[in-house]
Amino acid sequence: MSVPAGVAWINGEFVSTAEARVSIFDSGFMGGVSVFDTLACWKGGIFKLRQHLERFERSAHAAAIPLPLRGAALADVVVETTRRAGHRDAYVQVIVTRGLRYTTPPGPQPSTLIVFSIPYIWIGGEAKVDSGLSAIVPSIRNTPVSTLDPKIKNFNRFHQHLAGLEATSAGVDDVVLLDQHGYLTESRGANVFLIQAGSLYTPALGVLQGITRQTVFEIAEEFGLPLHERDLTPYDLYTADEAFLSSTAGGILPLVLVDGRRIGDGVPGPLTRRIHDRYWERHLSGPDVTPVFA
């Protein structure tokens, strides 16, 4: 089985993704001590590069992982890695781990910093943008904020893997996770939005502060749509007029079936489509787009 074709930058060296390697003793592998961020390059431009890297730096700071590069220097590496990979529509990731464990002599080691660029990835597949996603509310609950704050974008996602197994067994595309109190949180790497009577609703707490989520906020303001952050239950999801997930990997992804309940008319709704169209329009030009191949 081959890995996606692309380019990786690892601690200062560019290699193909097929050749990219880290040590089995790296703390990101052995202990999950790592944070990351995911960016999209669309039609040759990276969307919200600054905002993604600022969030990445906040995650690293909160996790006490030193960053070998930051700011403009890190942005230059992201752009150059994407340029070398050559994909105008690309999925780009920035990762930092706490470095090697079990070294001689023991003690703190330099962090491992990785950037890679591969062809663009769609949650559920690109066709699901037109047909919509199906999901379940799994038995697995999301990690409590008191254990690990989801604002730290991290790779500790075994609970999401287990929830995904439930989704696979149920024959659906994805999951919507509850918190310990039974309120909606997020999907696997995506935020959740409901639409009811022309207003948008999204969970307030226990969720990643997604860059795509923030872009939906901006589009809602642009369209004059009321937006509310509040506690939401599965009932609110089942009875919504429309629902969608938001993620860098796929953008605006309609939810049309949850736990066997049809959402609205069971097809992507008109307001979801308007938000989807505007989201991708913003990737083509404007102050949030950083050209890669200019």
Domain span at 140: 128-281
- Residue 253 near residue 190 (C-beta atoms within 8 A): yes
62 within a domain of the structure (yes/no): yes
- Whether residues 189 and 86 share a domain: the answer is no
Averaged pLDDT for residues 142-148: 94
- Whether residues 62 and 200 share a domain: the answer is no
101 within a domain of the structure (yes/no): yes
67-79: pLDDT as tens digits: 999 999 999 999 9
Among 98, 119, 140, the domain-final residue is 119
- Residue 196 near residue 241 (C-beta atoms within 8 A): yes
- Whether residues 242 and 262 share a domain: the answer is yes
- Residue 33 near residue 97 (C-beta atoms within 8 A): yes
Amino acid at 157: R
Identify each DSSP E strand in the chain by its residue range.
Answer: 7-10, 13-16, 34-42, 45-47, 90-97, 112-119, 133-136, 174-175, 191-196, 199-202, 227-229, 242-247, 251-258, 261-262, 289-291
- Whether residues 73 and 145 share a domain: the answer is no
291 within a domain of the structure (yes/no): no
The two three-digit tokens of residue 243, written as one number: 């629902």
- Whether residues 88 and 177 share a domain: the answer is no
- Whether residues 155 and 18 share a domain: the answer is no
State yes or no: pLDDT of 228 exceeds 90.
Answer: yes
- Residue 78 near residue 49 (C-beta atoms within 8 A): yes
- Whether residues 159 and 253 share a domain: the answer is yes
Q: How many domains does the chain have?
A: 2
Amino acid at 104: T
290 within a domain of the structure (yes/no): no
Widest pairwise Cα distance in the chain? 63
Among 119, 144, 167, the domain-final residue is 119
- Whether residues 90 and 178 share a domain: the answer is no
Strands 7-10 vs 13-16: parallel, antiparallel or unpaired: antiparallel
239-262: pLDDT as tens digits: 999 999 999 999 999 999 999 999
The two three-digit tokens of residue 272, written as one number: 């979801």
The secondary structure of 197-237 as a DSSP string is TTEEEE--SSS---HHHHHHHHHHHHHT--EEE----HHHH
289 within a domain of the structure (yes/no): no
Instruction: With cut-offs at 50, 70 and 90, classify the pLDDT of residue 127.
Output: confident
Q: What CA–CA distances, in Å, run from 145 to 33, 57, 141, 149, 206? A: 17, 20, 12, 5, 6
CATH number at residue 85: 3.30.470.10
Report helix, strand or coil for 162.
helix
Among 67, 100, 119, the domain-final residue is 119
CATH number at residue 185: 3.20.10.10
- Whether residues 50 and 169 share a domain: the answer is no
21 within a domain of the structure (yes/no): yes
CA distance 42 to 203: 28
- Whether residues 74 and 168 share a domain: the answer is no
Q: Structure pTM? A: 0.95
94 within a domain of the structure (yes/no): yes
State yes or no: pLDDT of 82 exceeds 90.
Answer: yes
196-222: pLDDT as tens digits: 999 999 999 999 999 999 999 999 999
1 within a domain of the structure (yes/no): no
Strands 199-202 vs 227-229: parallel, antiparallel or unpaired: parallel
